[in-house]
């Protein structure tokens, strides 16, 4: 199972966060997981961030080529959805299954332009405040301590300019024209009250991808390791079928 990066991540620091480790232990039962950080964050902090969807797809191509000669399973969270769609349509023989969580086909309408400009400016000028604002969007019902830790995770993963660049990329990726060409078993998971990526985006994926199954789950957390382990459990069951 490969997890294309979905936001700023720091794989070298995630062992400090029990809830993230518990999520991956549950997700990976009986499955080998490969996760990697986006250029500009985590273990790739010193690499120039990707600028386009094609850059992200090329990175996934390199990972598959380096680590697996067999078809892979993709767990596509958030912005990784468009990357996984484009890759699987281009290389259908290399993908066995895809599970989307909190994902979308296009990021262009996730937030109005004025909100994008305001949030990008906040991240660049006041990353501490910006990371807390993102925590309020990604995990709005989490308690104050959990939101604080989530904000710290983001700041540890990337500097302000890197984070702003990656968020901007998340808003520009667009694989809508590819979605109806996807021909692999697909499960779409989405939380009903996700504020970062409204549930309508998951519903669109399920309508558009031939044969896709949709499961809408309660809750409002966009980060998959917050709250119950239902996302990890359902994804693992799908990959184990």
133, 170, 172, 178, 184 from 122: Cα distances, Å: 9, 17, 19, 33, 40
149 with 160: CB under 8 angstroms?
no
pLDDT band at 163; cut points 50, 70, 90: very high
33 with 3: CB under 8 angstroms?
yes
The residue among 236, 199, 226 whose CA lies nearest residue 215 is 199
- Strand ordering across the sheet containing 186-191: 34-35, 2-3, 72-77, 95-101, 186-191, 213-217
Q: What is the reported pLDDT for 124? A: 97
Report the chain's mean pLDDT, rounded to a whole number.
94
Q: Where are the domains of the chain?
A: 2-107+174-239
Coil, helix or strand for 27?
A: helix
* 3-17, 159-173, 216-230: range with lowest mean pLDDT: 3-17
197 with 78: CB under 8 angstroms?
yes
60 with 4: CB under 8 angstroms?
yes
Q: What is the maximum alpha-carbon separation in the chain? A: 47
Coil, helix or strand for 106?
A: strand
Q: Which CATH architecture has domain 2-107+174-239?
A: 3-Layer(aba) Sandwich (3.40)
Q: Where are the beta strands (DSSP E) in 152-196?
A: 186-191
Q: What is the reported pLDDT for 54? A: 96
102 with 202: CB under 8 angstroms?
yes
15, 130, 134, 151, 181 from 218: Cα distances, Å: 27, 27, 20, 23, 29
User: For 167-171, what is the mean pLDDT?
Assistant: 95
Cα 180 from Cα 172, distance rounded (Å): 20
pLDDT band at 82; cut points 50, 70, 90: very high
Q: How far is CA 75 from the centre of its chain?
A: 8
pLDDT band at 125; cut points 50, 70, 90: very high
- Helices (H), ranges, 48-159: 53-67, 80-90, 113-125, 127-138, 144-157
Q: What percent of the chain has pLDDT over 90?
A: 85
Cα 55 from Cα 71, distance rounded (Å): 21
Q: What token pair was written down for 103?
A: 């994902």
What is the per-residue pLDDT across 10-64, written as a single tens digit (0 to 9) for each?
Answer: 888 877 788 889 999 999 999 999 999 998 899 898 888 888 999 999 999 999 9
Torsion sign over Cα 122, 124, 126, 129: positive
């Amino acid at each position: 199972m490969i997890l294309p990066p979905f936001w700023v991540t720091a794989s070298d620091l995630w062992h400090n966060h029990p809830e993230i480790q518990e999520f991956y232990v549950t997700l990976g039962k009986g499955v080998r997981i490969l996760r990697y950080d986006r250029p500009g964050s985590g273990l790739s902090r010193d690499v120039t961030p990707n600028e386009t969807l094609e850059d992200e797809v090329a990175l996934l191509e390199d990972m598959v080529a380096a680590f697996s000669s067999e078809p892979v399973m993709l767990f596509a969270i958030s912005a990784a959805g468009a990357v996984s769609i484009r890759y699987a349509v281009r290389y259908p023989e290399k993908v066995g299954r895809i599970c989307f969580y909190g994902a979308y086909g296009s990021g262009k309408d996730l937030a109005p332009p004025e909100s994008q400009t305001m949030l990008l400016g906040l991240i660049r000028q006041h990353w501490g405040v910006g990371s807390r604002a993102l925590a309020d969007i990604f995990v709005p019902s989490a308690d104050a301590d959990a939101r604080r830790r989530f904000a710290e995770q983001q700041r540890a993963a990337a500097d302000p300019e890197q984070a702003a660049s990656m968020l901007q990329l998340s808003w520009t990726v667009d694989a809508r024209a590819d979605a109806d060409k996807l021909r692999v078993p697909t499960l779409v998971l989405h939380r009903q009250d996700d504020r970062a990526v409204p549930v309508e985006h998951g519903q669109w994926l399920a309508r558009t991808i031939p044969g896709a199954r949709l499961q809408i789950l309660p809750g409002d957390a966009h980060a998959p390791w917050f709250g119950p382990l239902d996302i990890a459990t359902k994804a693992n069951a799908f990959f184990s079928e």
